[in-house]
């Protein structure tokens, strides 16, 4: 498929906005990253160079192949965990965008196996009623830094994700996938929202989670409205960035 230059340029602008939005929404801080598959070449994807997401500009975007190699000779420092993105894109042709984060309300669910993350509100039906939890010890032993720093670990994470939309990473964070960049950002935001709500609700009593049917119907309905939060989040993120630059 050949993408018009203007459309590809717009997609890269959206990737910059995605970084800013995720920071502004508290999903990422100085760490975490978001990528989008190259629509002209499904074996390539775009990802920022190694830097804080809230500072990303168009000039910081680099193109990679699925092995995590820079494709144009750019020598700037790149993310250690780029293998998360490449191996998921390799295994999941339906995935067009990936977000990896350490959002604070989600991390506890990765470490407490007796309290699995489940969708409890209509905004998070995409989570589904089974969220796999990647255990790096099963692949690389009990003395790692918990980071996905090579293809073997990336492939193992992708295998754990399987055909789900979210995978937790024990003691680390989560990775969210979607068929569009805007959906990936929406999902990353609402995984964090759902985790916070679930933790709060658990203190009140037993939680009434969504049924399988409700997860499917709410996902279809709500994600059809993804442009609404995207426009709001983008406006707020751009305003925030402008205020930092002017201060």
**So what's the pLDDT on residue 1?**
44
**So what's the pLDDT on residue 149?**
98
Calculate the alpha carbon distances from 82 to 32, 34, 113, 115, 147 in Å.
Answer: 10, 10, 27, 29, 10
**So what's the pLDDT on residue 245?**
73
Token pair of 168, please? 């937790």
* Reported CATH class of domain 5-235: alpha beta
Instruction: Give per-10-residue mean pLDDT for the chain (247 aa).
Output: 74 98 98 97 98 96 98 96 98 98 98 97 97 98 98 98 98 98 98 98 98 98 97 96 77
Residue 47, strand partner residues: 35, 62
**So what's the pLDDT on residue 7?**
87
Residues whose CB is less than 8 angstroms from the CB of residue 114 and which lie 6 or more positions away in sequence, other chains included: none
**So what's the pLDDT on residue 5?**
76
**So what's the pLDDT on residue 21?**
98
**So what's the pLDDT on residue 18?**
98
DSSP class per residue in 19-65:
HHHHHHTTS-SSS-EEEEE-TT-TTEEEEE-SS-GGG--GGGEEEEE
Domain ranges of the chain: 5-235
Closest CA to 130 of 119, 139, 121, 120: 119
What is the gyration radius of the CA atoms in the chain, in angstroms? 17
Token pair of 62, please? 């680099």
Catalytic site positions: 81
């Amino acid at each position: 498929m050949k993408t018009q230059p203007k459309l590809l340029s717009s997609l890269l602008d959206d990737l910059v906005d995605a970084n800013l939005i995720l920071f502004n929404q508290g999903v990422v801080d100085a760490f975490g990253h978001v990528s989008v598959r190259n629509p002209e070449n499904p074996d390539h994807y775009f990802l920022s160079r190694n830097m804080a997401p809230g500072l990303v500009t168009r000039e910081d975007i680099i193109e990679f192949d699925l092995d995590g190699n820079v494709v144009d000779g750019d020598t700037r420092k790149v993310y250690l965990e780029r293998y998360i993105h490449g191996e998921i894109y390799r295994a999941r042709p339906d995935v067009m965008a990936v977000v990896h984060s350490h959002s604070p309300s989600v991390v506890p669910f990765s470490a407490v196996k007796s309290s699995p993350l489940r969708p409890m509100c209509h905004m998070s039906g995409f989570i589904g009623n089974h969220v796999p939890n990647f255990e790096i010890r099963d692949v690389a032993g009990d003395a790692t830094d918990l980071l996905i720093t090579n293809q073997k670990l990336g492939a193992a994470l992708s295998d754990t994700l399987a055909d789900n939309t979210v995978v937790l990473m024990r003691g680390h964070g989560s990775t969210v996938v979607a068929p569009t960049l805007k959906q990936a950002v929406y999902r990353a935001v609402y995984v964090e929202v759902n985790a916070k709500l679930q933790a709060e609700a658990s203190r009140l009593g037993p939680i009434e989670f969504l049924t399988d049917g409700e997860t499917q119907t709410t996902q279809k309905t709500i994600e059809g409205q993804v442009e609404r939060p995207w426009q709001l989040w983008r406006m707020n993120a751009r305003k925030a960035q402008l205020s930092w630059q002017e201060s």
